[in-house]
Amino acid sequence: MSSSEQTNTPNDDFEPLIQAGHRICSSDRIQDQEEGFRFMVRTSEIASMVGSIDHRVDETLPAFVIRFDGQAHAYLNRCAHVAMELDWQPGQFFTNDKTAIICASHDAQYLPDTGECISGPCPHGSRLIKLKIEEKSGEIFLCQAN
């Protein structure tokens, strides 16, 4: 089994470092409103997309991809309230009714398709930092920064 196949195994704790332009996971790894896929990104690779994050220092940060209404969406795994990871179990990002992303720390909720904060202690108008991805030929790729 190749290393790329190993990263697609459900419940696999390994979080690969994904470079821009490279494959994150296979499309069937993320099912609609189910477990997400966790991975790592370097801020230097996504510099134009990291908003308020100070990327003078090149950091490796956690990220994830989920599927909602058939579309894949990827974000930094970083709450807009406090810079903590969101999932309540590794890869579990959705509320019980599967309509929102919820932060395990203080219950901030975000729209799954835009990352916009909709309730909880995240600042008004804040949102998760969305990563540009592309899904093609049964694979999901992290796009190059513009």
Q: Which residues of the shown chain bind ligand FES in the complex (CB under 6 A)?
A: 79, 81-82, 84, 103, 105-106, 108, 120-121
Q: How far is the CB of 120 from ligand FES (least distance, A)?
A: 5
CB closer to ligand FES out of 24 and 86: 86
CB closer to ligand FES out of 62 and 135: 62
Q: How far is the CB of 85 from ligand FES (least distance, A)?
A: 9
Which strands make up the sheet holding 37-42, listed edge to edge?
Answer: 37-42, 60-68, 71-76, 130-131
Q: How far is the CB of 36 from ligand FES (least distance, A)?
A: 16
Reading the block at residue 48, the tokens are: 């134009």
CB closer to ligand FES out of 24 and 108: 108
CB closer to ligand FES out of 114 and 119: 119
46, 40, 119: which is closest to 81 by C-alpha? 119
Q: Can you point out the beta strands (E) in the chain?
A: 23-26, 37-42, 60-68, 71-76, 101-102, 109-110, 117-119, 130-131, 133-136, 139-142
CA distance 51 to 30: 26
CB closer to ligand FES out of 26 and 88: 88
SS3 72: strand
Q: How far is the CB of 40 from ligand FES (least distance, A)?
A: 19
Whose tokens are 């989920």? That residue is 66
Q: How far is the CB of 81 from ligand FES (least distance, A)?
A: 3
Reading the block at residue 1, the tokens are: 């089994």
